[in-house]
Structure formats: structure tokens, C-alpha cells
Amino acid sequence: MPDLPAHSSPAFPPLHSPRPEHEHPHRLEEDAYILGEDATPPPSNDAELLEELPVVECEVRARIPTTTGHEMWLHVYRNNVDTKEHLAIVFGAQIRSRSLDREREGETELERMTRGAYVGRLYPGRTHSRVEAIKRAEGAMPKAQSGGSASVSSASVSDVGEDMEGSSNTELPLVRIHSECYTGETVWSARCDCGEQLDEAARLMSSPHISPSGGVIIYLRQEGRGIGLGEKLKAYNLQDLGNDTYEANIMLRHPADARSYGLATSMLVDLGLGGEAGIRLLTNNPDKVRAVEGPGREVVVKERVAMVPLAWKTGGKAGIKSEEVEKYLSTKIEKFKHMLTQQ
Ligand SMILES: Nc1nc2c(ncn2[C@@H]2O[C@H](COP(=O)(O)OP(=O)(O)OP(=O)(O)O)[C@@H](O)[C@H]2O)c(=O)[nH]1
């Protein structure tokens, strides 16, 4: 994205919460929890420059066959800035974690395979993590693990040919940076479009003609735009009292958006998606496009791909329908400046 600065990843505060929850356990009882005229203003939401990327390491990965018939590789990451398990959901076997594959001193072949540092597929009786070693040991490579890629069927994606037809960089891996949303992804909330976006990202990345070089969903544990689930539920109550999603955060003395993306940059670099080759980024959020590129432009966003709500694309035939989600989407456009136009 040549028209956007590449240096604005926000700094990563410890545990990325602007106000650690234990410091204010009874804020609801305090009359100042909603900002009055003379109350302390919320912390600034100005993104500080990130001088250094966090250090990340992929601890383990495993093959996950999914209910759609496609497969993905789930990677669990640890890092040096918080204690959460951030995730990379990888579509396609060509995308591999450098830190996972690295040799660990004294490690056995079984230990390597157990943490997912193997090539191809596991099968009962496999003894080596590397295909070359298997070839040597067994004379020929067993059929079951020769491909090793996520077995993607084109049949179930034949209806999406029109998707992203404007994308001129189909050879570039498709990436989505997704922030955790328990309500939208797990308990069927129609207040936001998070669950739909996660499904849609996976669908696009599973398609060999939309994403032939594979794709990655970086799943960051930044629930509620970084304020946590409990605080998000308070924000929902304030929204039911007539405030929008932006105002509700401010009333709770949180930044409107408390997230940062340095971890995503580090994870993408670890997965080999850094550098000039570039990626396509699925998002409507301009902050994400800038921030994910990192302080030294470690990742290059060559193209932004819009995430249009399904209800808008299909004239209401599919997708989430609710008063709340419509209000949420218009606030994202008006106040968060998301690059989305109603169709
Ligand atoms: N505080 C708060 N967080 C919310 C609310 N609704 C959804 N979220 C969180 O918002 C995050 C998703 O952010 P969105 O603004 O929907 O989308 P985005 O990730 O910024 O942008 P896109 O890449 O275009 O989807 C998740 O962490 C959700 O839990 C809300 O009303 N209040």
C-alpha cells in the first residue's frame, strides 16, 4: 500500500490492556465509571510508534480437518510481551513456521513430530519428521504423506468465482488479522460481524483459485478491541442505553480501540510472509493496514481486500440481520473510518 505510512504499529503495553482489570474491580459501583463533566478523560488512543517487533515462537502446530471438508494447520504462538496463546490458522502446506521447524538440541524425532515440526502428514508408525529421512529409511516415500498440503476441494467453492475478481495479485498469500470475539464467534451474537468475517476469511483461503498460494488468519487474543470480555459486556449495556460502540468504550474510560498489531507482524515474518514479496490483507480497517507492516516495513501489504458484509452483498438473503449489527457497521464507517461502502 504505497499511499500509507509503514511505521505506525502501536507500542505494545504489558498485557495490552490500558487499565489492568485487577486495578479497578469495582468500577461499576464507582459513580465515575461513566465519564461526567469533571471525570478523568480516557487514555489517549494515539498509536505510539513501535520501535521493535515482539519476539514470537511457534510452540506447536497440528492438522485440523474442518466441518467444511477443508483442512488447516493450527499454530499456537508464545511471545515476550504477554502470556496469551495467539494463533495462526494456516491454509496450505507451503506456509511454514521458521521457529517451529528450527532444530532443538537433544530433541527426538517423536518429540519433533509431537510438536508438529514434521513435513507432510503423520500416519501410524511414522518414525521421522523429515521426508528425506523417511525416504532413506524406507526406500520410498509413503503415499499418505507425499502431498502434505491442506487438501482443498474446489467443488465447494465454485460459487465464489466472482469474489475478489478485482484482485490483481492472486499469487500473493491472503492474510487476515482477526481479533478474538467470543460473542460473535461462539455464542451467535448478532451485535457484530466478527463470526461471519472469520468464516468468510477461511472460505476464501480454502479456495485454490482465490488463494492459490495459501493464506493465514492471525488470531489475536484481543477480545473486545483489547478491553476484554467483561468490559465489552458493560459496553453492550451502555449501547442498549443508547450509545454507540465507540462512545461506550470511552464512557468506560478505555480507548475506542485498544488493540495493537506488532505480534501479527512478527508471526507473519515467522511464517515466511515478510519482505518485499508482500501479502494481500483482508480488512476494512485502515489502522490495521498501516500497523501490520511494522516499524521497518517487515511485512508489505501489496493489496487490501475489502470484507463486505454478506447481507450487503446478497441484498439481505444471507448474512447477519439485526438492528444492532447495522448500527455497529455504520459506527465503524463513521467513527473508526473503516473503508466500507454500503452496496
Ligand atoms: N469494545 C467493543 N468491542 C467490540 C464490540 N463489537 C465487537 N468488538 C470487538 O471488535 C473486534 C473486531 O473488530 P472490528 O472493528 O469489528 O473489525 P476490525 O478487526 O477492526 O476490522 P476488519 O479487519 O475490517 O474486520 C473483536 O475483538 C470484537 O470482540 C463492541 O461493541 N465493543
Q: Which of 259, 280, 290, 304 is catalytic?
A: 259
> How confident is the model at residue 260, as a pLDDT?
95
E strands of 116-161, at which residues?
Answer: none
Query: Do 285 and 162 touch, CB atoms closer than 8 A?
Result: no
Among protein residues, the one with the nearest Cα to ligand 1's atom 11 is 225
Among protein residues, the one with the nearest Cα to ligand 1's atom 31 is 245
> How confident is the model at residue 170, as a pLDDT?
87
Among protein residues, the one with the nearest Cα to ligand 1's atom 4 is 224
What's the gap between Cα 334 and its chain centre? 23
With a 6 Å cutoff on the Cβ, whether 283 touches ligand 1 is yes
**Length of the chain counted residue by residue:** 343
E strands of 80-136, at which residues?
Answer: 86-91
Give the residues of the chain that fall short of pLDDT 70: 1-50, 133-134, 136-168, 342-343
Among protein residues, the one with the nearest Cα to ligand 1's atom 30 is 245
CA dist list (Å): 97 to 196, 266, 273: 27, 11, 10
Say whether 257 is catalytic: yes
- The atom of ligand 1 lying closest to the CA of 178 is 19
Domains assigned to the chain: 14-94+166-334 (3.40.50.10990), 104-148 (no CATH)
CA–CA distance, 343 with 340 (Å, rounded to integer): 9
CA–CA distance, 93 with 66 (Å, rounded to integer): 16
Q: Which of 257, 270, 287, 304 is catalytic?
A: 257
Chain segment 244-253, per-residue pLDDT in tens: 999 999 999 9
Say whether 290 is catalytic: no
User: 29 C-alpha to center of ligand 1: Å?
Assistant: 26
> How confident is the model at residue 18, as a pLDDT?
34
Query: Tell me, what amino acid is at 317?
Result: K
Helices (H), the chain: 98-101, 109-114, 131-138, 182-185, 194-205, 229-240, 245-251, 262-270, 286-292, 310-313, 323-334
User: 19 C-alpha to center of ligand 1: Å?
Assistant: 19
pTM of the model: 0.82
- The atom of ligand 1 lying closest to the CA of 254 is 1
With a 6 Å cutoff on the Cβ, whether 163 touches ligand 1 is no
> How confident is the model at residue 164, as a pLDDT?
59
- The atom of ligand 1 lying closest to the CA of 197 is 25
With a 6 Å cutoff on the Cβ, whether 268 touches ligand 1 is no
